[in-house]
Each structure stands twice: as C-alpha cells, then as structure tokens.
Amino acid sequence: MRLGVLGGTFDPVHFGHLRLAESARETDPLELDKVLFIPAGQPWRKSNRAVSDPTHRAAMLSLAMEGNAAFEMSTLELERGGPTYTVDTLEVLHDRYPGSDLTLILGADALADLPNWREPERILALARPAVASRHNSTDGELERQALPAGALERVLWVRMEPLEISGSDIRDKVRRGLSIRYLLPDVVRLYIEEHRLYLD
C-alpha cells in the first residue's frame, strides 16, 4: 500500500490541508491509496500558544474528511500523550503497515523546519517527503534554498494551486469577528460557531 501521512495541529482543519492531501494523492508517481491525517497531541514546536482541545480538533477533522474514501484519521499521536515527534509516528506506521511505502506530506514551511525536528535523517529514511509550496512561487524556488542538506534528492514536489489559508489567520478572523466562510468546509465553520472556539 502507498500511504500518505499528513500531520498537523489542524486547529482548525481548512481547505489548504484538504487540497494538500488531495493534490499529493494525485501527484505522479505517488498515486497514494490512502492519506492518513494525524492530529498532533502536544505539538512541541508550538508550545508558545495554547492549542485547542484534541477532542475539538479531531471532531473538526472527521467532519472535514467525510465523503472522501481515501482520507482517514489516525489518533495515534493523541493517544500517545506527551510531545509529538514525527519520527516516532513514522516508526509506528512502519510496523503497523509492513511493506507499505510511506510518504510524508508537508507544506514548504514544515519542510524548512525539518532540520529542527527530532532525527530528521531517520524521518527521511522512513518516508519520502512530498512537498507543496505555500506561496505563489514558481516550482518551489523559494523552498529549495531552505532545504536541509541531502534532502533535496528525496523531495517530490506536489503540484497544488497555492492557497494562502492558515489556521492562524482563521483563528485571528474569528477573534476579530470576521467571516471565515469559504476558507474551510461549512460543517467545520458551523462546529466552530457552535462550540464558540477561538473567541477568547
């Protein structure tokens, strides 16, 4: 099986994540059978801000993925507790899906941050990185420069229409009373309203 892995805080999940997963799935020669969305438990790279309750983030994710048979959520990082390390997650998936090809799906900002993660070389040995630009730069030009040494050969560039949507911007808009319509699935927007998320 060809398995795509998309980790994130998903606070909240939005069309940027969904198009990233869908575009990675279709990127030749990937043809992923499945994309696993893995919400991070306690993202250690984001310890400077409070991340919403995992129950909310997982609920929004499953609402957003509804109707796409190739999308699945794994709560393994939520169950593990403690800080989230991608390398541990990939080790677990490697054992859980023996003989599968693992592809780590990343936005370019996440790839640039990779050298700061735990065991980046092991990560690259366990999974092939599939990366999409988050800006309107041609062919990942900007991102290439920020790559960890030796990673370039392993990277598969995902063709995706640039969507400048981020969780931070959505949270900020909610806080300021601005509309978040058309940035994320309506079911997720309604969930945010119903549970009064991001208002503080």
Report, in Å, the least distance between residue 10 CB and ligand ATP: 5
Question: In terms of Cα–Cα distance, which of 144, 142, 192 is closest to 172?
Answer: 192
Q: Counting contacts by CB under 6 A, is residue 58 touching ligand ATP? A: no
Residues 150-169 that bind ligand ATP (CB under 6 A): 163, 165-168
Nearer to ligand ATP, 100 or 166 (CB): 166
Amino acid at 67: G
Within 13 Å of residue 98, how many CA atoms lie on the same side as its CB? 1
62 contact partners, CB below 8 Å, separation of at least 6: 73
CA distance 118 to 86: 8
Report, in Å, the least distance between residue 98 CB and ligand ATP: 26
Q: Counting contacts by CB under 6 A, is residue 35 touching ligand ATP? A: no
- By CB under 6 A, name the one of 8, 54, 140, 185 that touches ligand ATP: 8
Q: At what angle do helices 186-194 and 54-65 cross, to 10 degrees?
A: 150
Binding site for ligand ATP (CB under 6 A): 8-11, 16-17, 20, 106-107, 109-110, 132, 134, 163, 165-168
